[in-house]
């Protein structure tokens, strides 16, 4: 997320508006707090809604693709791209 000047404030302003900032952060905003003109902390949602769901979505997609691949193998809809080498017993 890009940093906007409206989301950067000195610690004194953050302290005065902390409850309001907490609500904004829970709604998806990210706030940067400065001390003596230097960035010191960021306020972010501790429980973003997509934190785990994106990873879960990727896992479900992988499982779905693997299942489709197994269905293709079972139905004979696959081709061998490399011929297996037969090892002779020694």
Residue 84 lies in a domain: no
Distances (CA, A) of 55 to 27, 67, 69, 80: 21, 18, 21, 32
Q: Show the domain range for 38.
A: 5-43
Residue 10: count other Cβ atoms within 10 Å of its Cβ. Answer: 14
CA dist 34 → 8, 18, 43, 76, 86 (Å): 7, 14, 11, 63, 68
Structure confidence by residue, pLDDT tens digits, 33-88: 999 989 999 999 888 766 557 777 788 889 999 999 999 989 999 887 777 677 76
| pLDDT at residue 28, as a whole number | 84
Q: Are residues 61 and 36 in the same domain?
A: no
Do 9 and 39 reside in the same domain of the chain? yes
| Max CA pair span of the chain | 81
Q: Does residue 13 form part of some domain?
A: yes
Residues 38 and 55 in one domain: no
The answer to whether residue 81 sits within a structural domain is: no
Do 52 and 39 sit in the same domain of this protein? no
Q: Is residue 12 domain-shared with residue 33, that is, in the same domain?
A: yes
């Amino acid at each position: 997320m890009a940093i906007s000047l409206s989301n950067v404030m000195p610690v004194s302003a953050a302290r005065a508006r902390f409850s309001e900032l907490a609500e904004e952060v829970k709604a998806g905003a990210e706030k940067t707090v400065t001390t003596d003109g230097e960035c010191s902390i960021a306020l972010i949602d501790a429980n973003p809604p997509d934190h785990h769901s994106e990873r879960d979505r990727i896992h479900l997609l992988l499982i779905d693709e693997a299942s489709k691949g197994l269905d293709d193998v079972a139905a004979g809809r696959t081709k061998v791209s490399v011929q297996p080498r037969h090892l002779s017993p020694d």
